[in-house]
Amino acid sequence: MGQRQGRHRRLRRRALRRAGAAAGAGLLLGRAGVGRPRPAVGLEPGRPLGDRAVRRPGLEGRAVDQPRHRDDGRAHAARRLHPPREADRGGPRLRRRARLLRAAAQRRQGRRPGARAGEHPYAQRNLYTTYDITGAVHAGANAVGLWLGDGYGPTFSPYGFRWTGPKQAILLLDVAFTDGSHQSIVTDPSWTWATGPITADDLYAGETYDARLERPGWDQPGNASTGWSAVRAVAAPSATLTAATLPPIRVAATRPPVKVSQPQPGTYVYDFGQNIAGWPRLRVQGPAGTTVRLRTAEEVQANGMLDTTTNRNAASTDAYTLAGTGTVETYEPRFTYHGFRYVEVTGFPGTPAASSLDARVVHAAVPSTGAFTSSDPLLNQIWQNNRWAILNNSMSIPTDNPVRDERTPPGMDVQAYHDASIREFGMGGFYANYLLDMPPGTALPNDAGNAQQPDMGGDQVVLAWALYEQYGDRDTLAATYPAMQRFVDTNAANVPGYIWTTGFGDWCPPDLGPNANGGQGNPSAGSCTSEVSIVNTALSYRQAHTVAKAATALGQAADAARYTQLAENIKQAFNARFLNPDGAGYGSGRQTTSVLPLAFGLVPDANVTAVGARLVDTVLNRNGGHLDTGIFGTRYLMDALARIGRVDVAMTVLDQTTYPGFGYEIGRGATTPWEEWTYASSMETHDHAMFAGINASLYTQLAGIQPTGPGYASLTVDPRVPAGLQHVAASIDTVRGPVASSWTVTGQQIALDVTVPVGAAATVHVPNFGRGDATVTPSAGATQVSATGTETVYTVGSGAWHFTGAVAPTPSPALPGAWPRCATETGTCAFTGTQTVAYGAAGQYRYAALTGGTACGNRVFGDPLPNVSKACYLIAPPPANTTWTRCASETGTCAFAGSATVAYGASGQFRFATLTGGTACGNAVFGDPAPNTAKACYLAGPPPGTTTWTPCAAETRTCAFTGTREVAFGAAGQYAYRRITAGTPCDNATFGDPIPGTPKSCYVQ
């Protein structure tokens, strides 16, 4: 745990007394930054002990005219400290005309205005914050005071930006009087310091507060100076000072407990019903010297006591010693925060009530901009849990978790979830500040070896572009662009073949071994490093492609061409190295190996269908409909499946309630996503944002909202409507106003409502399967661009639009074949007599006529489709009025294009052969399955196998797809089959008429 040391310090100063009215006052307090060089000094208590206060009383008279904004370093110097908080923790109190500017090293807090600062690279930038404090300045005497705390203790993570110097602060109070005169009060040797009631504080360990040591009125004018000591000026941590632009850290909500229990005498456990970042607030009355301890944790044991496993070495304990005032005393810590759902209370005098404790929710003051709901309650809870995790890990910087002894900037995590956070919240200023602290290629302390890794160090490249897309922030993109170039150029030079072999990869996929223990896990569960080479090479492609887009946006045409070519070179190297010889998968075949190539556009167009089919097979069969992904695979899982029209498979994954998956976690009571998919593992907290990235796909795929111009100047609404989901509604408050997409399916009809902000234009894709026309209201201002057998596309301007269309019939594994599955691979297909058995998957099958059952495996049939889970199917014999189409009588010619499976025989006795380009129908080809009986030939489609037949177009429309697909045309069990490349008309001219007089449809497999 972090060692507690020293005493909290207070600093104070009397200000000058003057008569008259003040029109405005401002106060500056600072941290670390880049700016104009200035000579600088800082203020430090005279000896390096812990809890101290520094004060300067004074300032009488006239109040203040609006002061000029200070960004010139006039406040001398500043060191950044961990965020101060105001007495009521509710954020800075801003008045109209007076300003306070301040800077400090370590944590600081002032009653006015007080705002939490946070972790920061102190050697890189010194920041100050400005507040309007006109309302706090009054006629008569005034005083200014600061609290300084330890903040990050000596055991703070070596990968965090920790201040290691002495406690020091800098402040400028700028007063403009109504008579036009000015007065500035600055930190100088006239300030004094004294210890206060906070006897220990540490970010991990917690805070200890002894109310008997309080100095009432210490920050008020006229307070006695007994016991106060002189301060001394010290050198500034940097010669430059700049204004802070990051949002303040504030108390966003206060939560009452949902349950209070007493698992053992004198120990009370409060359950706040939600995993949060923040601290508890205590109300207690009792004798002086009584100490109440508040210990936090995410979980409880079966006996009701805290389970502090995920705290690791963080003590996470606050202690309050009562002053014994005879009234209710209220305490909440100033210089620490915790990640928790539960609080253990011990030492309470008497029996605490539910109202004795509440929980203060704390995070960066970012507004909520995203909203999502659906007809799927589990999906809604996943969305909500992920939002909580993002907020709990947004302080002054993104953190990895708020619970254990880390809380450091996690570049890899942010890369996996920033697409979600910029939609859910107004993160423009937050991430712009992060990019100033950590531009691309910046190493965390003691972690220089990972600065150039595409997974850990490359986040900032794509983040700068994401801010441009989401907020239209061209300034941040332009400022970050040189570092983006250096990062990508350095990696291209250092990895000349473009294939990465180092890094972390798809961090923390599920443990599928015995340590998983059905999801409970154990201290040995988990192996987080996964698919390093494929993941980092794919990420390097995306980063090069992103720099090319940034160059185009910034008018750098030559750069755009160069980085486009670099991205293409990486793509070629990626496929040469990882695409398997069958062209249907990458590397080991684990889900992420296909997810990233499909989502990033790395798969050659001719291979998209095969790679997609393999991914679907892997998800549904090898993994039983569950995910098998780490942070990057999970982020892009729905995007990859949407690329091949299989969002229904993504919903199958998200709706799982067994291990592994979000639903399993939620079933165990999770209110934020876990670090690993098991409950317990070798490295575990239950509040990690790194898996929250899939929230982005709820907006971009299910609702279909995607910017196509910076800041949504133009956008696309192209919702994906998976079978079984009846309703989705999502909105994003963009810089231009709200964008919204809401759809509802009733039977085969869909109603789609779209809102486009002022000044924007949208392209709207309305699902419209069949021959009917889509509608739009109002019709004026909407232009129909195209119509196919599956959708109608419109362009519209700003306003609210209502569309109607039709959804496709539900995909089904029973259409259009009727081949019952008898066994999965390695199982036994049991039957009596002689049967024809098909073995394979995804349109690739081997056939055999066998007697009395068979083992279902490669040893019997060979391997028609390597590295894919297969199954065995019994083939029901014709007649042609089921799924077999008669193509010729005996001695005739069975004509067809391409390859097809042909059955020859009669009366239940058939021989089968897979032939190409047609065949003679006779014994010479097939042998004689039924001697002395007139026979015929029949064409058969492959069994549905492990994929589904997905509707692609109604009759007379176009069935559009890329690559080569198996297409069935027909209805009511009567189908004609063809293997077709790059789409096809869905009509009799192409397929013949398998069922005359009946409306038909096309299906693809």
Residue 341, number of CB atoms within 10 A of its CB:
25
Residue 660 burial (10 A CB sphere; 0-12, 13-18, 19+): buried
Cα(769)–Cα(322) distance, integer angstroms: 71
Residue 71 burial (10 A CB sphere; 0-12, 13-18, 19+): middle
CB neighbour list of residue 248: distance below 8 Å, 6 or more residues apart:
83, 91, 92, 115, 116, 129, 364, 365
Cα(740)–Cα(170) distance, integer angstroms: 46
Residue 482 burial (10 A CB sphere; 0-12, 13-18, 19+): exposed
CB neighbour list of residue 896: distance below 8 Å, 6 or more residues apart:
887, 917, 918, 939
CB neighbour list of residue 988: distance below 8 Å, 6 or more residues apart:
none
Residue 397 burial (10 A CB sphere; 0-12, 13-18, 19+): buried
**Which tokens in the block code for residue 446?**
């003691």
Cα(57)–Cα(469) distance, integer angstroms: 50
Cα(756)–Cα(779) distance, integer angstroms: 15
571-575 long-range Cβ contacts below 8 angstroms, 24+ apart: 571/541, 571/602, 573/497, 573/498, 573/499, 573/537, 574/498, 574/499, 574/537, 574/538, 574/541, 574/602, 575/602, 575/603, 575/604
Backbone angles phi, psi at 680, to 5 degrees: -120, 145
CB neighbour list of residue 561: distance below 8 Å, 6 or more residues apart:
none
Identity at 803, one-letter amino acid code: F
Q: Are strands 317-321 and 291-297 parallel, antiparallel or unpaired?
A: antiparallel
Q: Can you name the residues that pair with 776 across neighbouring β-strands?
A: 803
Are 657 and 663 within 8 A, CB to CB? yes
Beta-strand runs (E) in 298-453: 299-300, 306-307, 317-321, 329-331, 338-346, 357-364, 370-374
Asked if 675 is an active-site residue, the reply is yes
DSSP annotation string for 761-783: EEEEEEEB-SSSPPEEES-TT-E
- Mapped to the 3 state alphabet, what secondary structure does 890-957 carry? CCCEECCCCEEEEEEEECCEEEEEEEECCEECCHHHHCCCCCCCCCEEEEECCCCCCCCEEEEEECCC
Cα(671)–Cα(369) distance, integer angstroms: 20
Asked if 665 is an active-site residue, the reply is no
CB neighbour list of residue 904: distance below 8 Å, 6 or more residues apart:
910, 911, 912, 913, 921, 922, 925, 926, 929, 935, 936, 937, 938
Residues 916-953 as b or e (16 or more Cβ within 10 Å = b):
eebbbbbeeebeebeeeeebbbbbbbbbbbbbbbbbbb
Are 89 and 332 within 8 A, CB to CB? yes
Catalytic residue among 406, 469, 684, 955: 406
* Count of residues in the chain: 1005
Catalytic residue among 60, 675, 676, 791: 675
Are 203 and 82 within 8 A, CB to CB? yes
**Which tokens in the block code for residue 45?**
């208590």
- Round to the nearest angstrom and report the end-to-end CA distance of the chain: 57
Q: Which residues are catalytic?
A: 406, 675
